[in-house]
Amino acid sequence: MPDAPLSTGAVDAVRTAPRPGQEHIARPASDDELGAVDAVRTTSAPAGFWREAWHGMRRRPLFWVSALLIVMVLLVAAFPGLFTSIDPRTCALSDALDAPRAGHPFGFDRQGCDIFSRTVHGARASVIVGVLTTLLVVAVGTTAGALAGYLGGWADTLLARVTDIFFAIPLVLAAIVIMSLSTRRTALTVALVLASFGWPPIARIARGTVMSVKNDEFVTAARSLGMSRPGILLRHVLPNSAAPVIVYATVALGTFIVAEATLSFLGIGLPPSVVSWGGDISQGQGAIRTNPEILLYPAGALALTVLGFIMMGDVVRDALDPKARTR
C-alpha cells in the first residue's frame, strides 16, 4: 500500500530540519545588546579635516623622524649657545687643520676655526633665510593665485601672464644676477631676491585650488546669504584651499635653504662675516682630499635639514590629500 502524501507543512519541516552534525546554535537576541550596538554618541564633536589629518600624520614613523630633525635644527638655530660656548669667529693659526680633541669634536679648519662651532652657528643664517623666503613666497604667491582664480576674467588673464613671465626665469640664475649687483648682502636681502622669483609655483597651485573650491555648495550658500565677495574669499575659499599651499611651502623651505647655501658657496650670498653652511662648504672644497671633514660636516648638516623638511612635506601631503588616504 503506497505511503500517504505528506502535507505542505510536513514538507517544509523536512526541508528546514538540520541534518545530523549541522545543528546551528544561536544565542537569543537581546534588545539591550542590539541597542548598545546601534547606539551613536551624539555628544562628541565630529572630527574635522585638520583633526583627521593630524591623526593620520602622528601614526606614521616618518612624521616623528622628520619632526625630530626639524625641531633639532630650529633649536640649534635659535639657541646655539646650548650646544657650544666657542665663538665661531675666534680662530688661531696654530690650530690650523688640527685633529679633533676634547672640546673640539670636529677638529679645525685651515684658519684654525672650530668646525663644530661654525657648523652649529651656521644653522641660524640658513634657517632665517629659508623661513623669511617661505613666508614671503606664501604671501605673494597665495595672494596672486587666489585673486586670479577667484575673480577670473581679465584679472585672471593678467595675473596668469605675469606669473608665466616670472615662472620662465630660473630661480638660482636670477638670484645670482641680482645678488652680484647688490652692494648690501644681508639675510633679508637674500630672502627678498629669492622670494621675487620663487612665488610663481605657489601662485599656480593657489589659483587651481581656488578655482575648484569657489563653485562648491558652501560658497553658493554663502553668496545666497548676501556675503560679500572678499568675505567669501577670506572666510570660506582660502581656508579650504590651504592644504596644497601648506604642502608646497613645507618642501619649498628646504629648497630655499639650499638656494641660500648655493649663493653663499658662490661668494655672492651672505658676506664672509656671517657664518653660514654655504660659506663653510666653499672654504672647505679646496681641502676635500686631504681634510674632507672641513666640508662634510656643514654639508651633512645642510643635507639633514633639507631631508627633514622634504620628509615632512611628504607626510603632510599624504595626510591632507584625501585620495592618498584612501589608496
SS3 of the chain: helix, strand, coil, percent, to 5: 70, 0, 30
CB 219 within 8 A of CB 233: no
Whether 246 is in a domain gets the answer yes
Higher pLDDT, 32 or 135: 135
pTM (2 decimals)?
0.78
Tell me: the pLDDT tens digits for 108-118?
Answer: 888 888 899 99
For residue 165, the enclosing domain spans 68-77+114-326
Least confident interval from 126-140, 144-158, 224-238? 224-238
Taking the alpha carbons at both ends of the chain, their separation in whole angstroms is: 71
Cα separation, 57 vs 185, whole angstroms:
39
Instruction: Report the percentage of the chain scoring pLDDT > 90.
Output: 25
Whether 62 is in a domain gets the answer no
Instruction: Report the percentage of the chain scoring pLDDT > 70.
Output: 83
Whether 97 is in a domain gets the answer no
Average pLDDT of the chain to the nearest whole number: 82
Whether 208 is in a domain gets the answer yes
Whether 131 is in a domain gets the answer yes
CB < 8 Å & 24+ apart, contacts of 65-72: 65/311, 66/307, 66/308, 66/309, 66/311, 66/312, 66/315, 67/312, 69/304, 69/305, 69/307, 69/308, 69/311, 70/308, 70/309, 70/312
Tell me: the pLDDT tens digits for 203-214?
Answer: 999 998 888 888
* Burial of residue 27, with CB atoms counted within 10 A of its CB: 0-12 exposed, 13-18 middle, 19 or more buried: exposed
Grid coordinates belonging to 250: 613645507
Whether 95 is in a domain gets the answer no
Residue 197: band (very low, low, confident or very high) from pLDDT cuts 50, 70, 90: very high
Assess whether pLDDT exceeds 70 at residue 30. no
Cα–Cα distances (Å) from 156 to 199, 207, 209, 265, 323, in that order, read 16, 9, 14, 39, 28
Residue 223: band (very low, low, confident or very high) from pLDDT cuts 50, 70, 90: confident
Cα–Cα distances (Å) from 37 to 33, 34, 41, 42, 43, in that order, read 6, 5, 11, 14, 17
Highest-confidence range of 8-17, 84-93, 129-138, by mean pLDDT? 129-138
CATH number at residue 305: 1.10.3720.10
The closest alpha carbon to 138, from 274, 222, 249, 213, belongs to: 249
Residue count of the chain, please give it: 327
Tell me: the pLDDT tens digits for 278-326?
Answer: 888 888 887 778 888 888 999 999 999 999 998 998 888 888 765 555 5
Whether 56 is in a domain gets the answer no
Domain count along the chain: 1
